[in-house]
Amino acid sequence: MAGHSHWAGIKHKKGAADKKRGALFGKLSRAIIVAAQNGGGDPAMNLTLRYAIDRARKASMPKDNIDRAIKKGCGELGDVNFVEVLYEGYGPEGVAVLCDVLTDNRNRSAGEIRKCFEVHGGNLGANGCVSWMFERKGLFLVSAENADEETLFEVALEAGAEDVKQDGPGFQITCDPAAFDDVNAALEAAKIPTEMAEIARVASSTVELDADGGRKILKLLDALEELEDVQNVTANFNIPDDVMAEVSGE
């Protein structure tokens, strides 16, 4: 899940993931399977696989699970046939929503996602209806506790990052997807840990939400995230920090 405030998004998402770790591991395994299926089982030669493995490790997924998923993707443990599909629609308050899906049954996935939208005050749209509002970027989040702004600027920009800016309790770094590996390697070399490091969709504009709108959109996104086939949900909303604290009951 990601809105304009990526820190708020990952905090909310981590809370849900901690309660449903088994489901999270299932999603991460599926991402590894598809990456290996499409590009081979060697992460040194398959960047998509490397990123999927990195995400799994950051979620404390056991090594045996990771190795088994790679073998499945390479056909060593039987055939698998997942396909990548992007579903698009509008949530409450006109928020644009994208769902990245890995599925072995498009009809099932479409039906489940459509129902989620309808139950939570949104509607599933046609291909291209909202994806034009988003741009693929390399996205990194770094806690202010782990790096000062000046050091982060120097390391990230020298490696090819486009922008470094304050975001909540830390910093957000964005780059062209082609520069993702260089920026990631530079941060690792400088021993700067990241809270998020992935190729993500970043919205060109956002819908500002109050507490009521925030609750509605988060209920929709949570419901979508719970679906087995859904890998990631992105939306173009922004909830101010004070409102997010109210919505989260903090």
Does residue 11 share a domain with residue 64?
A: yes
- Containing structural domain, residue 164: 133-203
Distance of CA 131 to the CA centre of its chain: 15
- On whether residue 184 sits in a domain, the answer given is yes
Q: pLDDT (tens digit, 9 = 90+) per residue, 160-170?
A: 999 998 877 78
Domain count for the chain: 3
Please state the rounded mean pLDDT for residues 104-133.
94
Look over the chain and give the mean of its residue pLDDT values, rounded to a whole number. Answer: 86
Please state the rounded mean pLDDT for residues 19-48.
84
Residue 12 confidence (pLDDT) above 70:
no
CB count in 10 Å sphere of residue 54 = 15
- On whether residue 78 sits in a domain, the answer given is no
Banded pLDDT at 204 (limits 50, 70, 90): confident
Banded pLDDT at 8 (limits 50, 70, 90): low
Does residue 191 share a domain with residue 153?
A: yes
- On whether residue 247 sits in a domain, the answer given is no
Q: pLDDT (tens digit, 9 = 90+) per residue, 54-75?
A: 888 888 889 999 999 999 888 8
Does residue 142 share a domain with residue 192?
A: yes
**Tokens found for residue 62:** 């056991």
Please state the rounded mean pLDDT for residues 223-240.
88
Does residue 160 share a domain with residue 60?
A: no
Does residue 122 share a domain with residue 12?
A: no
Residue 195 confidence (pLDDT) above 50:
yes
**Domain final residue, candidates 73, 91, 106:** 73
Predicted pLDDT of residue 1:
46
Q: pLDDT (tens digit, 9 = 90+) per residue, 134-166?
A: 999 999 999 888 888 889 999 999 999 999 988
Banded pLDDT at 13 (limits 50, 70, 90): low
Please state the rounded mean pLDDT for residues 40-55.
88
- On whether residue 137 sits in a domain, the answer given is yes
Instruction: Report the sign of the C-alpha dihedral through residues 196, 205, 177, 69, in that order.
Output: positive
Give yes or no for a contact between 196 and 69, defined as CB atoms under 8 angstroms apart: no
Does residue 12 share a domain with residue 37?
A: yes
- On whether residue 219 sits in a domain, the answer given is yes
Do strands 96-103 and 83-90 pair parallel, antiparallel, or not at all (unpaired)? antiparallel
- On whether residue 249 sits in a domain, the answer given is no
- On whether residue 155 sits in a domain, the answer given is yes
Give yes or no for a contact between 187 and 140, defined as CB atoms under 8 angstroms apart: yes
Q: What is the CATH number of the domain that holds 49?
A: 1.10.10.200
Residue 129 confidence (pLDDT) above 90:
yes
Does residue 111 share a domain with residue 90?
A: yes
Least confident of 20-34, 126-140, 172-186: 20-34
Least confident of 23-27, 67-71, 95-99, 133-137: 23-27
Banded pLDDT at 248 (limits 50, 70, 90): low
Does residue 13 share a domain with residue 113?
A: no
Give yes or no for a contact between 236 and 207, defined as CB atoms under 8 angstroms apart: yes
Does residue 47 share a domain with residue 164?
A: no
Percentage of the chain exceeding pLDDT 90: 44
Looking at the DSSP bridge assignments, the partners of residue 98 are 88, 234
**Domain final residue, candidates 51, 73, 95:** 73
Buried b (16+ CB within 10 A) or exposed e, 200-237: bbbbeebbebeeebbbbbbbbbbbbbebebbbbbbbbb
Does residue 128 share a domain with residue 150?
A: no
Query: 3-class DSSP state for residue 249?
Result: coil
Q: Is-above-0.75 flag for pTM?
A: yes
Cα atoms in the 13 Å half-sphere on the side-chain side of 94: 5
Q: What is the CATH number of the domain that holds 187?
A: 3.30.70.980
Q: What is the amino acid identity at position 60?
A: S
Closest CA to 95 of 225, 208, 187, 8: 208
**Domain final residue, candidates 36, 52, 73:** 73
- On whether residue 234 sits in a domain, the answer given is yes
Does residue 89 share a domain with residue 194?
A: no
Predicted pLDDT of residue 155:
94
The CA-based angle 120-122-128, given to 5 degrees, is 140
Does residue 117 share a domain with residue 222?
A: yes
